[in-house]
Each structure stands twice: as structure tokens, then as C-alpha cells.
Amino acid sequence: MSGAATSIERVKRTRVFVAALLVACACSAAGVEPRDAGDATGSIDAATVDHVVDGDTAWFVLAGGGKEKVRLIGVDTPETTIRHDPYGEEASAYTRGILTTGRTVWLELDVDHHDRYQRLLAYVWIVEPATGTPDEARAGMLNAMLLSQGWGRLLTVPPNVAYVSLFVELQREARTARRGLWAA
């Protein structure tokens, strides 16, 4: 490997380390301990997809009735509603391809249930989770899949940090493999 390539890899590893450190510091400042995958504190309830807004937001019909706008926890995709960011259309298309209207999904809540815009915050499972392990999340949780495919970036807002370690790893893998928005 050339000296320049080695330096670039060192910078990438440093950025991942700094991101993880910032998450840890934010959690500490908020008095929250990062938890391991599967430690979300909320319930897991079935819902039906109504429609997708963009890569990280969709409307669902809840099992108990009523409709909720849901923001995916832990991932931020490029914008396509107010402004059009690079790779935003691709991220939205990826989410639309998975969250087809009428599909049953499972919404897993964490500590904070709503954001400042009154959107429900959730991990969206496309396969009903049995254990919530990292391997299960990689294959069946939309939040993790967006990061793994490179269509979003890690966005950690304590205290909702149940899968933060996995999400840091997935973003690192996507970036290293130059998937999605990391391809440029």
C-alpha cells in the first residue's frame, strides 16, 4: 500500500474513532450509558406501512389504530423534501423499495418516544425480531440496512442508543466498501 493510501486509511480509522468517542461523550453528558444491541427499552409492536416520506421517515398505521409519522432512530439520510441533497433520491428509493404500502413491519421504541417535531422514534424491523442481536438487526432492521448499504449516516441522539455500537460498525463497513453515499 502506498504512503498516501496508508495515510488515507489512518484518517478514516481516526474519523470512525472520533465519531464513536463523540457518541460516548454525548451519552455521558446526557447521563446515559450506551447499551448493547437488543437493549432497547420500549415495546415492539406491529404496524402497516402507509407511505414513505424520505429515506429515514415514513407514515405507519399502528396495530391499535391511528397513524403515526415515524423517524428512524440512529440514521440520517440525505434530504429530498425541502432540499435535494446528493444521494437523497437513492436513499429514498431504497426505503420505498423495502417499505411498500401495506407491508407489515415491527416498530421498536427506545427511551425517548418522540422527537421535537412529534414524530414517533423507532427502529423499524422488516422481519419480526426474536432476539434483537446484531446479526438479526443487520438482516432485518431497516435502520441498520440503510447504514450497511451506505444510504445514511450515523445520527445518535441520546438516550436512544440501544444499537449505537452496531450502527458505528455498519457505517464503518459501508464507508470502507465505498457503498452508497460513500462511493464518491
Give dist(CA 105, CA 87) in Å, integer: 25
Which of 79, 89, 136, 173 is labelled catalytic? 79
* β-bridge pairing 153-155 and 120-125: unpaired
Span 10-38, average pLDDT: 43
Of the ranges 19-23, 36-40, 165-169, which is most confident? 165-169
Q: Is 119 a catalytic residue?
A: yes
Q: Tell whether the torsion through CA atoms of 79, 80, 82 and 84 is positive or negative.
A: positive
Q: Which domains does the chain have, with CATH numbers?
A: 35-182 (2.40.50.90)
Q: Is the dihedral of CA 58, 167, 181, 94 positive or negative?
A: negative
- In this structure, what are the phi and psi dihedrals at residue 134, rounded to the nearest 5 degrees? -55, -40
**Better-scored residue on pLDDT, 4 or 182:** 182
- What's the first-to-final CA gap in the chain, in angstroms? 21
pLDDT in tens, 115-168: 999 999 999 999 999 988 999 999 999 999 999 999 999 999 999 999 999 999
Which candidate in 71, 153, 172, 175 is catalytic? 71
pLDDT band (50, 70, 90) for residue 42: low
pLDDT at 33 over 60: no
pLDDT at site 184: 79
Q: Decide: residue 124, CB within 10 A, 0-12 exposed, 13-18 middle, 19+ buried.
A: buried
Quick one: pLDDT band at residue 44, thresholds 50, 70, 90? very high
Active-site residue, selected from the candidate residues 68, 96, 119, 173: 119
Cα separation of 125 and 30, whole Å? 27
Q: Is 71 a catalytic residue?
A: yes
Q: Are 26 and 38 in contact (CB under 8 A)?
A: no
pTM: 0.79
Residue 76's nearest CA partner among 160, 137, 153 is 153
